[in-house]
Amino acid sequence: MDERTLDYLRLTGREDAAVAGVEAYAKAQGLWCDEGAEEKSYTAVLELNLDDVVPALAGPKRPQDRVDLNEMKSHFLHSLTHEEGHHGHGLASEDLSKSAIVEMNGEMFDLNHGDVVIAAITSCTNTSNPGVMMAAGLLARNARQRGLSVKPWVKTSLAPGSRVVTEYYEATGLQDDLNAMGFHTVGYGCTTCIGNSGPLAEPIEAAIDEAGLIVGSVLSGNRNFEGRVHGKVKASYLASPPLVVAYAIAGNLDIDLTTEPIGHDQEGKPVMLSEIWPSEAAVDEAMKVITPEMFRQRYADAMNEPRWNSIPAEASPLYPWQDASTYIRLPTFFSGLSATPAPITTIEGAKVLLKLGDSITTDHISPAGSFPAQGPAGQWLVERDVKKTDFNSFGSRRGNHEIMMRGTFANVRIRNQMAPGTEGGFALNHETGEVTSVYEAAQIEAPKVVLAGSQYGTGSSRDWAAKGTYLLGVKAVIATSFERIHRSNLVGMGVLPLTFKDGESHETLGLTGHESFTIPLSDAVQPLEWVTITAQRADGTSVTFEAQVRLDTPVEVEYYRNGGILHTVLREMAQATA
């Protein structure tokens, strides 16, 4: 930390005492860096050559898959026919030329693979960085002056994380330029990057379905997992705000913006991105309008929203649950809870609800965006006379366990190997042999297990990914490896995480998912102990394999013994008041 850190704190309206406190703390902790100060000694040193830093994006399905801007065209074209997975879409070569004619708003155009149908400057990731936000506005201004415009098939939006952004955009006049490019302010908060982009135009969605198109989105958010941004969009890339504007103008991913023109000006001359990219000096000049007073005024009464404050609230020590509410309902987490926990026992006769591959994210497990009327969650609302236009999203319905458990494993892009040939929230009902929704298949009496590959639970630390798993009756998840937070959340809900031995997986062991699983456990279970699991086949043969119990600490063993952290805390509170 140095003076530039303090400059930022002052710029964003922090009081002098707070800035002084940060400086004092940084110096006391040895984090302060003065120019010319003695070089510090570190246990590890990472070198970065600034000459190697180039513009980049990430995608098409994971935020860790970085792509340099000058390689985007070749990367995307390769991804079309690359085997279906994290890096590919598995198109057959004969399908590459598919397109659809779209007529919309008096225009007619072809929609092709790689066309960008969503371009969104989103809230949380970049709006605390006024430099890149100004760069986006300046790029829009420069493009407008050259006569460029956004392609008609691109749905554009601007959702700042703060009203201060709007204030400095208006002070510089850049909001007019962004509006001219279609980047109108749609709100302040989570929008496109959490799946709240709203529907695409009907002709666009119909064209995507008709031709089976791999269309794209470019957004300045921080996550682009499958199905997260929009159910119709299979190639989602993360980019800086100015690059979002650039791709909205270009209109497709099948372009090298470092060597090909982004468009043509009023005179028909090609325009390169480098010609309209704002200089550092221009960005610095624009940022001079930003003052600490902007932040102080906007945040002085940030919590004083009259409409929110006018909502009637009953004064009561207990929440007054309303049976008619479709947003907040009394959950079943504590139903039948005894004063003391039962002993830990063997999980017997468990059936596989899902058999999954690698990098299953919390978005796959518990999606946060919109959901269809024909799915279990939608049907629950339809049965209560809720109109489709009022469905809202999984994220807004997370106070309703009925909706959330019906949406667990309902991501439109999840692929359950127990329901081959399907995509979405489908599973095998082991009692009837039919492929149904995951929710319906989970209603069998037998305990359920999930088999998975590596990095299970990566992504957002979404509590409902564990809560929904618990409510579906899943007793254990056996994976090659877990993401740290999701593993902990599973334990916190009383779901047992286990990992295969190194080099083993459900694939190498030949597990089909049609077996019945016995996981030997006792009340004497120890952190990280190994157990021998038996998978019994219908023909009487079986597969046995070792797995490690991923209760990593004695505290986690106690959580599991109690059925999760909620049960543990409630029992402790009851004992304290007894």
pLDDT in tens, 374-393: 999 999 999 999 999 999 99
* Residue of 444 and 122 predicted with greater confidence: 444
| Neighbour count for residue 375 (Cβ, 10 Å) | 18
One domain, residues 392 and 421: no
Model pLDDT for residues 64-95, shown as the tens digit of each residue: 999 999 999 999 999 999 998 888 999 999 99
Run of H or E residues at 469: helix 463-471
* Pairwise CA distance, residues 333 & 551, whole Å: 21
Tokens of 406: 């019906």
In a domain, 340, yes or no: no
Calculate mean pLDDT across residues 93-121. 96
Tokens of 457: 């639970």
One domain, residues 397 and 532: no
* Pairwise CA distance, residues 436 & 570, whole Å: 36
Is the pTM higher than 0.85? The answer reads: yes
Q: Of 499, 435, 437, 495, whose CA–CA distance to 469 is shortest?
A: 495
One domain, residues 193 and 92: yes
One domain, residues 422 and 390: no
Residue 513 predicted with pLDDT over 80: yes
Those residues with Cβ within 8 angstroms of residue 280's Cβ, 6 or more apart along the chain or in another chain: none
Residue 123 predicted with pLDDT over 80: no
Tokens of 455: 């990095």
Residue 432 predicted with pLDDT over 80: yes
Residue with tokens 């497709």: 252
In a domain, 323, yes or no: no
Give the total number of structural domains in the chain.
Answer: 4
In a domain, 352, yes or no: yes
* Pairwise CA distance, residues 305 & 262, whole Å: 43
In a domain, 219, yes or no: yes
198 confidence band (pLDDT: 50, 70, 90)? confident
* Pairwise CA distance, residues 412 & 301, whole Å: 40
Phi, psi of 553 (to 5 degrees): -140, 160
One domain, residues 245 and 279: yes
Residue 300 predicted with pLDDT over 90: no
One domain, residues 241 and 287: yes
The pLDDT assigned to 303 comes to 80
The residue segments making up the domain with residue 49 are 1-53
Please give the torsion angle defined by the CA atoms of residues 110, 113, 114 and 120, in that order, rounded to the nearest 10 degrees.
Answer: 70
One domain, residues 426 and 533: yes
Residue 509 predicted with pLDDT over 80: yes
In a domain, 327, yes or no: no
One domain, residues 204 and 118: yes
* Pairwise CA distance, residues 465 & 490, whole Å: 8
One domain, residues 34 and 65: no
One domain, residues 446 and 391: no
Phi, psi of 59 (to 5 degrees): 160, -175
- Is omega for the bond preceding 60 within 30 degrees of 0, making it cis? yes
Q: Of 198, 190, 215, whose CA–CA distance to 156 is shortest?
A: 198
Residue 54 predicted with pLDDT over 80: yes
In a domain, 293, yes or no: yes
Model pLDDT for residues 146-181, shown as the tens digit of each residue: 999 999 999 999 999 889 999 999 999 999 999 999
Model pLDDT for residues 536-565, shown as the tens digit of each residue: 999 999 999 999 999 999 999 999 999 999
One domain, residues 109 and 21: no
The CATH number of the domain where 41 resides is what? 3.40.1060.10
In a domain, 310, yes or no: no
Those residues with Cβ within 8 angstroms of residue 577's Cβ, 6 or more apart along the chain or in another chain: none
The pLDDT assigned to 16 comes to 94
Mean pLDDT score of the chain, rounded to an integer? Answer: 95
Run of H or E residues at 380: helix 376-382
The pLDDT assigned to 41 comes to 84
In a domain, 292, yes or no: yes
**Could you say which of 298, 315, 336 is where a domain stops?**
298
The pLDDT assigned to 358 comes to 95
Calculate mean pLDDT across residues 450-456. 98
From residue 484, alpha-carbon distances to 48, 466, 491, 541, 561 in Å are: 28, 13, 11, 35, 20
Residue 124 predicted with pLDDT over 80: no
**Residue 157 carries which DSSP code?**
E
HSE on the CB side for 350, CA within 13 Å?
26
One domain, residues 236 and 123: yes
Percent of the chain with pLDDT over 70: 100
Beta bridge partners of 236: 217
The CATH number of the domain where 120 resides is what? 3.30.499.10
Residue 125 predicted with pLDDT over 80: no
* Pairwise CA distance, residues 300 & 219, whole Å: 30
Tokens of 58: 């990430």
The pLDDT assigned to 155 comes to 98
